[in-house]
Structure 1
């Protein structure tokens, strides 16, 4: 009794599988399909039928059979299948033999050959009416032995590789204008295969992935598929890489029997890998180096400017000057006050230096600044002490000394400004001395 139950469960499972009528793949998982030879699934869910190899097949089939008839002698049900694919050869103008969408009696096409046979047939089985194979070829090589129209075409194959009907790859846009498509462009495209079981007509439509399904199909063929398709069949893909390394990708796929075809969620499909090196704009390749060079140059010039400015206003401060620190001025302030010791501010020359007019920024006091010559022989410490001592004196004919400034080897003395222009008073008592 238990054995009969197991057999019954098995038969019910087989019947359930055989009666499956629809499925949708928005990307693929490793357990979704029956894969053979070089076919594989990338980590992000792309079905790769080429796998970057030469002269190899890449068959991939839905794991369970689909029921196409009620009985062996009845008519074939209506069915439809949209597929999003991309063919990416190693070289732009050379590729393998393309992709075929296949309906076959078994998973995989045993005994088939790669290259021009598209992994569907061989020399013996090609054009054999007992094959019961329907294929839609997306062919990228001109094979004269199969009477191909060109090296970029779509063809309907029934039991053999000499297409019953074919057309150059392209689509009819709104308004009826035909637009060419290059199958080996590496860009994603969508193909729709629709068979009407009542009208006994099959339509094939092709378009870029970002274009809605055109109203006018690329191919139309009136043919009863009853002698081609069996009651239960497997659906899938076959692919060849030929002598040129090519990656043949399927991004999404759905299938429906006797019903409305499930739409593919295009936004959810896995992304194609980047082709080669990313193109870099001329702005980055040409303009960026110049911008970087300009910025670096400006930084260097800025550093040089700051260093020279610091060096220009660097001051010498020795221990003995702490006794006179309250009388010391900043050389930068005096430089600004006298407008850079320009000639327009010069009051006169004498007493080992020149005297310039200036205005203190803090107190707005008009002052006289004397630049003492660096050839002065007197000791710096003694000179400053003498100047400060003179600064303590108060007399109507002596200007008041405010202080001094030392920078490197040059000395500055700051004193009150005498509007009568008497330079002698500056020579006797100066407010600031700068070296």
Structure 2
């Protein structure tokens, strides 16, 4: 998240996207493009409710705010030429004709708002809760709508609606900078932005006269997810620029510089080295990526067994499917995350390669393969003590990702196939191609896991969270206990899933009857009940009712009763 000010009385601040945004299209220079932005924010008012507030702004130049400026926008007596803002005002300023309550207002070249919300907004802005705002402008109709909610769902009815806002008369230039500004006034007040997305699209014509603006189909659309620079000034501190970047973008910058070299080594803080391999070395290691060395193949690529000529060590070589933009995105995501992490239950990265249009990741080899290949093989039996240790190891790995490191990470594809087993059957969670930092703003609504492991709320939110990882873990627990796949073919005739089947056994008072028959009742009954019960709790249909991964670890270790 980003703090717009220091929180001290008299502090002001601005934050911008680092590049200008084009607001006029060459085919229709008279009109503005359609744009919409949404962001989560929090106004914390610990001492009083007289801090001035903050605003979403569209400005000609990304300048630092002058000390004493109102809302971080301007000093008294100056105009806001060519500036558009939506203010979240927490202080009545009679000079600018503010209403006597905290409000949201639309500013068109002036801090005297063209329209403000009624007193109903006072409670929301003063609540100290995390809120979400949606600001939508339809260029073809010159219509502006603003919505604010204390949840993630966009309200159907706007809080502010300006049918003819005349925004082209204010934003007369082709390109502008977008961002936020804030000022604390005479109070201790904090303005925090948690995530922010901004989209522009060009709409050439409406599909029919009765269709609403949102129904237009003929558009050019470009999406930008912002990581921005903050310009901050406060009394006695002067002006300083703080370049803020998410860890993912920092690592991408590192890759852009160093992936052009033939051989490098990067040493992380714990002293582990990562090597940039040559394509020739990996081709030799895998016998030219021979099918005989193939360990597995999925939608994202293939994994081969390899022996490095340099030291004779055995590795797993993951060759991504192609050199497309999507593969680059997965490559950067997986590399930027797993290369920073060290935990006994996470796969260990050896290095990578980017040559000859190939994207390759090199991992430590896991002799016992993936959990699913053993668990669902009727010819092999994984003993109960091994299964229980595996369940605990997966829980520890996810607890580490969710809160045991400096960044929270959502894996987004927790399943048995992504749990690898070393020579001692110690589990290693892998495949971070879909994983995301929690502070990243990207919401990928097309790739959020694997059928059978996807939490039900993803069907309508499209946004993976730590609780959707917990759901996937719950399904894996049920698989470990029963030896059956989440979508086992034995359930097809009844049209149910493994979760349905175990839940039915539980409600019938026969939970232990769901245990894997291959174990021939050779298991610790208390542990089996613990795993099945926790699996059901983790798969609770209400995400907020699921336990955290740290609670799961404590329950499996027997330290606490069921969450």
Q: Which TM-score bucket, shorter chain as reference?
A: 0.3 to 0.5
- TM-score (norm. length: structure 2): 0.35
- TM-score (norm. length: structure 1): 0.45
Q: Name which one, 1 or 2, has greater alpha-carbon Rg.
A: 1
Report which structure shows greater RCO (CA 8 Å, sep ≥6): 1
